[in-house]
């Protein structure tokens, strides 16, 4: 086997460059797979449960969108 002026295979510094590029490609592939799996198993809405009708009613009352009487009537209609 001949060594040549650039070491094994005659690639010189380019052998190290290609090895680094190859490593970065594999790291990118692994990170991409992990991100894909994480997005597939993530619950819709970021794991946050939807607001109940009473929660929405309380928020509207707190924001001043409805009066006390409207709040009481709507709360009674919800059966809460």
pLDDT tens per residue across span 13-49 = 677 888 999 999 999 999 999 999 998 888 666 666 7
The number of residues in the chain equals 80
Cβ neighbours of 11 (radius 10 Å): 14
Task: Write the CB contacts of 54 (distance below 8 Å, at least 6 apart in sequence).
Answer: 75, 78, 80
pLDDT of amino acid 77: 92
Average pLDDT of the chain, as a whole number: 84
pTM of the model: 0.45
Contacts for 4 with CB less than 8 Å, ≥ 6 apart? 10
- pLDDT of res. 2: 53
């Amino acid at each position: 086997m001949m060594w040549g002026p650039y070491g094994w295979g005659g690639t010189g510094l380019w052998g190290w460059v290609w090895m680094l590029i190859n490593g970065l490609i594999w790291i990118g592939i692994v990170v991409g797979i992990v991100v894909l799996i994480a997005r597939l198993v993530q619950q819709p809405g970021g794991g946050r449960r939807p607001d109940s009708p009473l929660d929405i009613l309380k928020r509207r009352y707190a924001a001043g969108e409805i009066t006390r009487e409207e709040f009481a009537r709507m709360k009674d209609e919800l059966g809460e």
